[in-house]
């Protein structure tokens, strides 16, 4: 039937112009226009005080997405498998130090790979509006600027989160055809929630497969339609807004503005940021009363630090020059409308 079956462990997934998957035992990366997440739901859960409150404020689930914000800082990776080692290896290129937290497990593989390892059991995540330390049940603490969660293997929710897909708790939010809010990304089976039964998984898988095939058949037409819209692009071909915010013009365009201003903190290497760009452009065309702007974190690190940007895309809303709302992750037009209210 022309179907290739590859048995391997997916360690990471990124999006630029297509989905790119990194595998554990295969050196060559896989690229695809459409991706169906159907690896079930991971039963590993953490009920740590501070975990939810500090997500996006030092706690991350994506080293590739957020590692940039922890350059030369002290970070930790929570996990003890190939997935955790993959995340730690990436962070090692950026951070000042990387410690792997095994939460009571041996950590032999991490030690063999040359990482610092802490085998103590976690008790709480601490920080006042920003992660500052991790407390363990033995009474010890570890001061860190960032904590990256990489438990077990990378399941569907982990990958969806990295790509900016909308979640409903620990499940992936889909429409009636199995599509997420990310073009070309679909999900099926236990990772979408609801009844954990084989019949449901088979039905959702077949439905998502048919929708993905239809998406692939129309991908060229879709890309042509997107490229023909009146988007502004920089020299790298990345879609941007007409007004870019910099350290030099922030006061004039944001602080002194009488309009409601939405600032999108982004970077060209961020897949979800690239997906957010055309949505923002379409939203701007429908809401002329809102000033839609973008701030490149690579070019304006001072602004990113000033507003404690630790994950992108980050959307900040200013009214009368004052920050009134903020949100992290990919937003559709309806979510943007609710954000700027």
% of the chain at pLDDT higher than 90: 46
Which distant-in-sequence residues (6+ apart) come within 8 Å of 265 by Cβ?
A: 294, 295, 297, 303, 304, 307, 309, 312, 313, 314, 315, 316
CATH 3.10.20.30 fits 230-339, yes or no: no
- The tokens for 166 are 């909308």
Q: What is the pLDDT of residues 19-66, one digit of tens each?
A: 889 898 888 889 998 999 997 766 556 789 999 899 888 998 888 878
18 among known catalytic residues: no
Range scoring the smallest mean pLDDT among 55-69, 214-228, 242-256:
214-228
**Contact by Cβ (8 Å): 232, 239:** yes
Q: Is the pLDDT of residue 226 over 50?
A: no
CATH code of the domain occupying 10-42+154-217: 3.50.50.60
CATH code of the domain occupying 59-149: 3.50.50.60
- The tokens for 268 are 């060209």
Instruction: Report the 10 Å Cβ neighbour count for 92.
Output: 17
- Find the catalytic residue in 62, 65, 191, 273: 273
The CA angle 237-215-24, to the nearest 5 degrees, is 75
Band (242; pLDDT cuts 50, 70, 90): low
Report the b/e string of 237-270 with b at 16+ CB within 10 A.
ebbbbeebbeeeebeebbeebeebbbbbbbbbeb
270 among known catalytic residues: yes
% of the chain at pLDDT higher than 70: 91
Q: Do domains 10-42+154-217 and 59-149 have the same CATH topology?
A: yes
Break the chain into its structural domains and give their ranges.
Answer: 10-42+154-217, 59-149, 230-339
Sign of the dihedral through C-alpha 10, 14, 20, 25: negative
**Residue 1: predicted pLDDT:** 52
**Nearest alpha-carbon partner for 255 in 341, 322, 324:** 322
Q: Is the pLDDT of residue 333 over 60?
A: yes
Q: Which residues pair with 55 in a beta bridge?
A: 59
- Find the catalytic residue in 62, 191, 270, 295: 270
The position carrying tokens 């290129």 is 93
Cα distances from 303 to residues 178, 295, 300, in angstroms, run: 38, 8, 6
User: Which comes out higher in pLDDT, residue 225 or 163?
Assistant: 163
The mean pLDDT of the chain is: 86
Q: In terms of pTM, does the model score above 0.85?
A: no
**Residue 306: predicted pLDDT:** 93
Q: In what order do the strands lie in the sheet with 74-78?
A: 59-60, 146-149, 74-78, 97-101, 116-118
C-alpha 258: how far from chain center: 32
**Residue 28: predicted pLDDT:** 85
Q: What is the pLDDT of residues 71-125, one digit of tens each?
A: 999 999 999 888 899 899 999 999 999 999 999 998 898 999 999 999 999 999 9
**Residue 209: predicted pLDDT:** 92
């Amino acid at each position: 039937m022309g179907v290739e079956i590859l048995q391997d462990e997916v360690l990471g997934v990124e999006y630029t112009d297509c989905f790119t998957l990194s595998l554990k035992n295969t050196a060559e990366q896989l690229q695809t226009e459409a991706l169906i997440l159907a690896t079930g739901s991971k039963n590993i859960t953490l009920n740590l005080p501070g975990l939810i409150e500090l997500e996006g404020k030092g706690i991350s689930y994506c080293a590739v997405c957020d590692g940039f914000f922890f350059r030369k800082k002290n970070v930790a990776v929570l996990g003890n498998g190939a997935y955790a080692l993959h995340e730690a290896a990436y962070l090692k290129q950026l951070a000042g130090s990387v410690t792997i937290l095994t939460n009571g497990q041996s950590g032999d593989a991490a030690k063999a790979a040359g990482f610092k390892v802490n085998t103590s059991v976690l008790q709480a995540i601490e920080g006042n509006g920003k992660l500052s330390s991790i407390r363990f049940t033995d009474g010890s603490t570890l001061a860190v600027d960032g904590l990256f969660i990489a438990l077990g293997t990378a399941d569907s929710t982990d990958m969806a989160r990295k790509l900016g897909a909308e979640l409903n708790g620990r499940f992936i939010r889909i429409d009636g055809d199995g599509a997420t809010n990310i073009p070309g990304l679909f999900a099926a089976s236990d990772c979408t929630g609801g009844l954990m039964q084989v019949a449901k998984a088979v039905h959702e898988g077949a439905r998502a497969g048919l929708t993905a095939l239809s998406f692939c058949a129309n991908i060229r037409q879709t890309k042509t339609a997107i490229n023909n819209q009146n988007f502004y692009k920089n020299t790298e071909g990345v879609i941007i807004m007409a007004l870019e915010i910099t350290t030099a013009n922030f006061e004039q365009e944001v602080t002194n503005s009488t309009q409601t201003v939405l600032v999108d903190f982004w970077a060209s290497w961020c897949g979800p940021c690239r997906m957010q760009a055309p949505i923002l452009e379409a939203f701007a065309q429908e809401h002329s009363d809102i000033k839609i702007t973008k701030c490149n974190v690579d070019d304006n690190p001072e602004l990113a630090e000033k507003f404690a940007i630790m994950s992108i895309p980050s959307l900040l809303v200013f009214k009368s020059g004052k920050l009134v709302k903020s949100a992290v992750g990919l937003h559709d037009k309806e979510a943007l409308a609710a954000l700027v209210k």
